[in-house]
Amino acid sequence: MAAITERNGRYKVIYNYVDEDGNRKQKWETFQTLPEAKRRKLELEYKALKGEIVIPNCRTLEGLLEEYVTLYGKDKWALQTYDRNVSLINNYINPLIGKVKLEDISIQFLERYYQKLVKTPAVPNAMTGKQDREYVGPSTIRDVHKILRSCFNQAVKWDLLDKNPAVYATVPKYKPQKREIWDADTLVYAMDICEDTQLKLAINLSFSASLRIGEVLGLTWDCLDISEEAIAQNRANLTVNKELQRVSREAIKTLDGKDIILEFPAGRKKGKSILVLKLPKTESSIRKVYLPESVARMLVEYKQEQEELKDFYDQEYTDYNLVLCSGSGSPLSQNQILKKFKKLIRDNNLPPVVFHSLRHSSVTYKLKLNGGDIKSVQGDSGHSQVDMVTDVYSHIIDEDRRKNAELFEEAFYKRKNLNPNVYGIHSQEPAPPKVTVPDNIDPVLLQKVLSNPEMAALVSALAATMEK
C-alpha cells in the first residue's frame, strides 16, 4: 500500500515495488499539493491491484520522455495534442538530444539546444506533407520548451531530478503574428459574392456564432433550434457540443478512443489518419449561441435543399445528421472548406485572411456592438478565460484609444465642445436634434455603436442589403 507524508511543505508518496531482478525496493515521489499526492496514491493502489505499477527508471532524456508520454501524456492529452507533442518529440527532441544523460541536462545545455534548433531544418507537415518553413520557427521552439518543462516537472515529482532545468532557461523570442481581419465592407461584400452554398453557410456560421472551423463542420441538426416559433421570438440558437477533427490512428489506439463520439469510415484503408467527431477540448467550449434571424433563415433553406438531396441519392446517402456534408452525407474535411475559402479570396482579389479570422471578426464586431461587454462575448466564443479575449483582440482597445485622442482634439484643442455633456456652454456648435429611442434600446450603447465608423459602415451595408 502507498502512504503519504509531508516534509517542508511538500508531500511524499511512498510505496514498495519489486524491481526486474526480484529485489524489493522503496520509492518516494514528491508533489507540491496534497490533492496531487492523493491522486497518485490512488493511481498506484489501483495499478497494484492489476499488477501494472510502472516505476520510472530513466537514464537518458529519451527514456524519460517515453515514461512521460506513457504515464502523463496518455492521461492528460487530447487526441490532437498527443499527435502534436509526439511529433515534436520524434522530430526535434530525440534526434538531437535524446541520448543525453539526465544529469548532464542544465539550464545552459537547454539554451544551447534552443539556439541549435533555430538553425535546424523544419520537418514537413505530417498532414499536408508540405514544409511550412525552411527552419524551425520560434513558435515551434516554444512548444518544444513547454513539453520539456512539463516532462522535467514530472521527473522532479518522480525523484529522478532535483530541480527542473527548463524553468529558468531562456527561449528565443516569439512574437505572435497579428491576425488580420476583414473590415465591415469587405466582410459584407464577401458574403454577397460567395456563390458556393456550403462555403457561404460556413462563413456565416463562423462569423455570426463565433465558431471554430471544426465546430462548424461538426454541427448536427439536432443541435439547432431554428423552428418558426424560435425565429419569431428571436431565440433561434445552436449548441456547440462536439467538433470534427482529423486525428491519427496511432493517437486513437494509444488513448483508447479518448473523447471520440464517432469515427467516420476512412476513404483509404491504409491512411494514417481518419475524421472523427469528438468532444470539445475544454468545458467552456460547450455552449449555446443565439443566431441572427438571417442566418437562421439561411439554415432553414439549406435544410430543405439537403432533404431533397437525400431523396435524390436515396440508399447511396449515409445520414450522419451533419449540417455541412458531401452529396453522399459523409463529412467535409477542413481542407475542403479552406480550399474553397482561398479560391473565393483569389478569384475576387479580396484581402488575404485565414478562415479562422472570421471567428476573430465575430468577436471584434460583437465587442464593438455591445460596448465592450467581454463576458457575454466570451460566452459565445467559448474561450476558457476572459483574458484570452482581451489579449487576442486587443486591437479593439487600440481603436478606442485613438478615438479618445480624436475626441480630445475636437473638444479641447479645436474648442468645439469643452463640455461634452452640456450643449450651448462654451460650444461653437448648436445642440443636435433630439432623437427618440425605443424603450427596449440602450441609448448610450446605441450612441457608442453609431459613433464607430466601421460599425456605421456595417449598418449601412446591411441596410442596403435589406432594401434589395
DSSP per residue, 100-123: SBGGG--HHHHHHHHHHHHTSBPP
Given its phi and psi angles, is residue 22 left (phi above 0), alpha (psi -120 to 50 degrees) or beta?
A: left
pLDDT over 60 at 247, yes or no: yes
* Low-confidence winner among 13-17, 40-44, 166-170, 392-396 (lowest mean pLDDT): 392-396
Q: How far apart are CA 293 and CA 461, in angstroms?
A: 17
Residue 311 confidence (pLDDT)? 85
- Whether 67 and 122 have beta carbons less than 8 Å apart is answered as no
Q: How far apart are CA 93 and CA 117, in angstroms?
A: 9
Mean pLDDT of 382-399: 58
Mean pLDDT of 189-195: 94
Mean pLDDT of 400-426: 62
Residue partners of 297: CB distance under 8 A and separation at least 6:
231
Q: How far apart are CA 191 and CA 292, in angstroms?
A: 15
SS3 label, residue 419: coil
Which stretch, 40-49, 55-64, 333-342, has highest mean pLDDT? 333-342
Mean pLDDT of 257-267: 89
Q: What percent of the chain has pLDDT over 70?
A: 73
pLDDT over 80 at 199, yes or no: yes
Which stretch, 16-25, 218-227, 273-282, has highest mean pLDDT? 218-227
Burial class (CB in 10 A: 0-12, 13-18, 19+), 6: exposed
Alpha helices in 314-409 (DSSP H): 334-347, 357-369, 374-381, 386-392, 395-408
Taken in order of first residue, the domains within the chain and their CATH numbers are 1-55 (no CATH), 60-176 (1.10.150.130), 243-279 (no CATH)
Mean pLDDT of 286-310: 92
Q: How far apart are CA 272 and CA 65, in angstroms?
A: 23
Residue 458 confidence (pLDDT)? 62
Q: What is the mean pLDDT of the chain?
A: 82
Q: How confident is the model at residue 90 (pLDDT cuts 50, 70, 90)?
A: very high
| Amino acid, single-letter form, for residue 136 | V
SS3 label, residue 14: strand
Picking from 134, 137, 141, 135, the residue whose alpha carbon sits closest to that of residue 170 is: 141
Q: Which residue has the higher pLDDT, 448 or 244?
A: 244
pTM (2 decimals)? 0.71
Q: How far apart are CA 32 and CA 6, in angstroms?
A: 10
Residue partners of 105: CB distance under 8 A and separation at least 6:
61, 97, 152, 165
Dump strand ranges (E) for 125-280: 224-225, 237-240, 243-248, 260-263, 273-278
Mean pLDDT of 298-311: 92
Q: Which single residue is written with the C-alpha cell 465592407?
A: 185
H or E segment and range at residue 4? strand 3-7
Q: What is the DSSP string of 381-395?
A: HT-SSHHHHHHHTTH
Q: How far apart are CA 10 and CA 8, in angstroms?
A: 6
Residue length of the chain: 468
pLDDT over 90 at 181, yes or no: no
List pLDDT tens digits, range 92-132: 999 999 999 998 999 999 999 999 999 999 988 765 566 66
Q: Which residue has the higher pLDDT, 214 or 451?
A: 214
